[in-house]
Amino acid sequence: MHEGQPVKTEKDNKPAIPMPSATVTLVRDTQHGIEVLMMRRNLKSGFVPGMYVFPGGGLDDDDLSFKNNGLCNCLDDTAASSTLGVAADGLAYWAAAIREAFEESGLLLARQGDGIIALDNADTAARMDEHRRRLNAGVVGFAALLQTENLQLAADQLTYFAHWITPVSAPRRYDTRFFMAEAPAGQVPLQDDRETIAAEWVSPGDALSRHGRGEFEMRTPTVRTLETFADFDRVTSLRQGLGKQGNVRAVLPRIGRDGRRILPGEPGYEEAGTKEGAGQWQT
């Protein structure tokens, strides 16, 4: 998750402009039901430190290049933009989600020939580890990495299912599109020890139970995502269920005077939108 700007300043006291962002919830089937990959944010992070999150972050210029760089032959920008309800550059959100998943967890949703690349070969895994290190260091771009390895962005593996915007009082704000994807076979997640300090597979129900006991800190969008996913026991049924949602509407939580996150339609939402009824963002 690239920690972007702009931020609100004391001088102008205006809300920060939300940064276009993408996140991907990686899931897998087990004999006990589905599990979700959770990454723990660095405790020194300037945004949601120590929280358990899904891989994600802000769009960058390299993500925007996928609409015409020939590295995504399974989804074009017109179709991606239509799905998101934007005029153009929709494919950049798919690229950002896949890039961030690779940067933060090491899982790569890219196609080599007819299938998703497997990293169970020692030489391939070592080469990809070096690519990931250079990508995180800013030495190489994601598009160049795929081109070097003769890979295609596997955008068709992602299912778009939610749109969340950070509350207006947050010092850093994100306008985030949420995707779901099945974790690639033959790949093992590993935190980057920079933005993320732990990687854990957990069932949605277990994550929610631990959160309720104060052992697994998460923000509202993450909690609501897991609540939705907990209703499904297989990746296939989850994908089908998410696909039946219809139009995805943006959700902008507000913060009440008591610090509680309030969603549209919940009691107190309108009041939290006023100067008198609004609370302040807390990390």
Per DSSP, the residues of 165-230 read E--TT-SS-EEEEEEEEEPPTT------SSSEEEEEEE-HHHHHHHHHTTSS---HHHHHHHHHHT
Terminal alpha carbon distance of the chain: 16
Around Cβ 195, how many Cβ atoms within 10 Å?
A: 21
In this predicted structure, what is the pLDDT of residue 47? 63
Q: What angle do CA 57, 29, 95 make, to 5 degrees?
A: 25
In this predicted structure, what is the pLDDT of residue 5? 41
**Any idea which residue has 């074009």 for tokens?**
76
In this predicted structure, what is the pLDDT of residue 97? 98
Q: Report residues of the chain scoring pLDDT below 50.
A: 1-11
For 112, residues 6+ apart whose C-beta sits below 8 A from its C-beta are 149, 150, 151, 152
In this predicted structure, what is the pLDDT of residue 11? 44
For the chain, give every residue range classified as CATH 3.90.79.10. 19-248
The 10 Å CB-count burial string (b at 16+, else e) for 69-90 is eebbeebbbeebbebbeeeebb
Q: Is 145 exposed, middle or buried (0-12, 13-18, 19+ CB in 10 A)?
A: buried
**Any idea which residue has 């920008």 for tokens?**
77
Give dist(CA 269, CA 283) in Å, integer: 20
How far from chain centre, in Å, is Cα 134? 21
In this predicted structure, what is the pLDDT of residue 14? 80
Judge: domain 19-248, CATH 3.90.79.10.
yes
For 214, residues 6+ apart whose C-beta sits below 8 A from its C-beta are none
The conformation of residue 234, written as its DSSP 8-state character, comes to S
| Sheet with 152-153, edge to edge strand ranges | 115-116, 110-112, 152-153
Say if pTM beats, i.e. exceeds, 0.85. Answer: yes
In this predicted structure, what is the pLDDT of residue 113? 86
Length in residues, the chain = 283
Q: Are 136 and 221 in contact (CB under 8 A)?
A: no
Q: Are 113 and 73 in contact (CB under 8 A)?
A: no
